[in-house]
Structure 1
């Protein structure tokens, strides 16, 4: 009987697998109109990762499902895409994870790396940390697909960030000296959805050109984004700590930019307390769409729209004359 399946039946099954929002990662598609409203496509990617897949602990089946989903989305968009597998040992256990990498040629062979981690902790849904960042990564990649950019762009979804920046460390450690010299900067996105305030950070001194150019866009477009005010002397104004995927690139001497939503004016003034009302939401059971939208109506949509606008313009208009490399 299995050999007698008709062509029409196969066609019907294929159409069912490719409907909008299909539950099969390799065939998920979205209505093209979503890319014309900043943040709308990002929201759908965020929701898929957090709810169709769920918590994405490093090395788990769900992390692999997320990898497959992201790879399929980059390919759907039309990018040359590769998966960089890696393993690491922790507490006597060897874990396998991967980075998903898409390449967009630009006007210059010089490149900028744009990344966000797709793994999460086991509690909550990992909506804020960091399905939100991956949502923006995928949306902006699609928006810019056919737009000439000053630099070539390497979009990377990093695995195993929550267990020690494993994916970004692996990628950075395997860059050649030529690649390092060819990379004018790295932009990281982590936890964009729930924090009271939206921020952009960057390297100290002249190497902070990514942050500075982002703040010029903020001013021009009247976006509600600021930077670390520097109330804590351990984290000078405009910078941040080395706790996310920008750090391995910073250690290579590559200037960084970093998009995040949190609150630097409460708690220990270190950005870990994201909200006045609930403190930190990341790494808790509150990291879900239901909780965030109940407690902060409209915040997710505002943040995704704002960060999408900012990152898109930053990548479109990066000013070569202001770079330090």
Structure 2
């Protein structure tokens, strides 16, 4: 299957078939993330939890990790979410999600988790379907193919670098149905594994938002925030990248804290987290849910779940160069940060 995929990608300058370690070192930061994200969005639209597209995309990501030399597997889980019909009747919709896990083993027992959800939005109601939210044609380049692409590039660039701490790269499922995959992942972790998890980094919605934000969990200790969130901001500013933290204009979300993604599951369990996203915490209800100022291209100030807006053709036209730009910026920040946090050797 993979060789066939490679042949289909051959016309691309960089492609999605990264097999030589020297290749990653020779290409610009973000190039791998860009091509992986574009490939996932193009060939696996409608990655709804439990759908054939999600299972195929999970297998693709697993193969990418395997080609890098990682031990990688797919863990399935059974769950459900509520679907609301036009007449307000609610029914449970059962799903089987696929979570991909790859391991970069370190010398010590402690670990850092890097996550990005692979699934796209599944309609939760008849109203969602009528409004073109989610479904079989949603490419989800912003939400969240680019997050997965960045994770794959970090894995590629770190694969031959020895680290003191282990790194787990995880493509989660079921995020759009209520963080189902992250919740299942946490439940499967032993008490010892939870204790040894130093940090969970979540990559989500990296493209459309006005600027990058680095936010910690509410339960993340100040000492960890300094080494993670604050350090990320310093690296960003050193590269001339506009980045910020949640300004704390909403009392429900204190300054510098994250909201409403897979990282929240681990934050609630008392595990330190770092949420990486692109949005605008100073607009709308000041909760990060309005990604950018309202314009003709983005009349609601968002692209979330919208089949017409969250696709490659539309974003390339409305925000030319943004996909490449954000991939480069996030990698330029996260790669040196990851090396510091995992205590990478030469």
Bin for the TM-score computed over the shorter chain? 0.7 to 0.9
TM-score, length-scaled by structure 1 = 0.87
Alignment of 1:117-196 (within 5 A): 117-121=117-121, 122-123=134-135, 124-196=138-210
1:318 aligns with 2:335: no
1:56 aligns with 2:47: yes
Q: Distance in 2 between matches of 1:92 and 1:14?
A: 36
Q: Distance in 1 between matches of 2:10 and 2:181?
A: 28
Secondary structure at the aligned position of 1:120 is classed as coil
1:172-221 alpha-carbon deviations (Å, 9 max, x no partner):
01111100111101000111011111111112451424212212322333
Gaps of 5+ in 1: 1-12, 321-325
Secondary structure at the aligned position of 2:109 is classed as strand
Secondary structure at the aligned position of 2:9 is classed as coil
Gaps of 5+ in 2: 82-90, 122-133
In the alignment, what sits opposite 2:235?
Answer: 217
Q: Distance in 1 between matches of 2:244 and 2:106?
A: 28
1:77 aligns with 2:60: no
Contact 2:70 2:102 in 1 (8 A): yes
Question: 1:50 deviation in Å?
Answer: 0.9
More deviation, 39-48/310-319: 310-319
Contact 1:186 1:255 in 2 (8 A): yes
In the alignment, what sits opposite 1:297?
Answer: 320
1:116-174 alpha-carbon deviations (Å, 9 max, x no partner):
00000225311100001000011110011111234210000001111111111000011
In the alignment, what sits opposite 1:8?
Answer: none
Evaluate the alpha carbon distance shift between residue 230 and residue 216 of structure 1 in structure 2; reply closer, same or farther with a 3 A threshold: same
Evaluate the alpha carbon distance shift between residue 164 and residue 17 of structure 1 in structure 2; reply closer, same or farther with a 3 A threshold: closer
Structure 1's consecutive aligned runs of 4 or more residues displaced over 4 angstroms after TM superposition are: 13-18
1:234-280 alpha-carbon deviations (Å, 9 max, x no partner):
21111121x21101111221100011001112111111111113201
Query: How many pairs does the alignment contain?
Result: 304
What RMSD, in angstroms, separates the aligned Cα atoms of the two structures?
2.3
Evaluate the alpha carbon distance shift between residue 109 and residue 165 of structure 1 in structure 2; reply closer, same or farther with a 3 A threshold: same
Question: 1:98 deviation in Å?
Answer: 1.6
1:77-131 alpha-carbon deviations (Å, 9 max, x no partner):
1100121110013333321112100000124321001000000022531110000
In the alignment, what sits opposite 1:236?
Answer: 254
Q: Distance in 2 between matches of 1:315 and 1:223?
A: 18
Q: Distance in 2 between matches of 1:17 and 1:215?
A: 37
TM-score, length-scaled by structure 2 = 0.82
Evaluate the alpha carbon distance shift between residue 222 and residue 69 of structure 1 in structure 2; reply closer, same or farther with a 3 A threshold: same
Question: 1:55 deviation in Å?
Answer: 1.8
